[in-house]
Amino acid sequence: MNVICKNDGQYAAYELCGRRLTIGGELTLCLEELQADYPVRVYVSEDERGRLVTGAARRYVAQLDIPARVSRVEKTGIADDFGFPVLRRVYETFSSDKVTLTLWRIRR
């Protein structure tokens, strides 16, 4: 995973364990489940009570950029009623190496 720190200072702690990212010890996101056929951006913010939430709230903590799923089309070896090959879409295995985590300084 690529990590970018936007400002100088202290940042929310994060831990990547397989395909799960935990931010601040309280918010866990499954990166593979968030991936789609288009690029996905997830904002992590701190709300008025100091809890971490996804989306916009009182203060930004982090931003996740997850690239679109990569797929290829392959023949199944079967032909349809008109003699055309039947195709199927196969997705590549998810890799957290392509995910970018941007962290903002936490002001306390």
pLDDT in tens, 26-37: 999 999 999 999
Q: Band of the pLDDT at 63, cuts 50, 70, 90? A: very high
DSSP codes of every residue in 6-38: -SSS----EEEETTEEEETTTEEEEHHHH--SS
- Which one, of 22, 46, 23, 21, lies nearest residue 99 by Cα? 21
pLDDT band at 8 (very low <50, low <70, confident <90, very high): confident
Domain ranges of the chain: 2-103
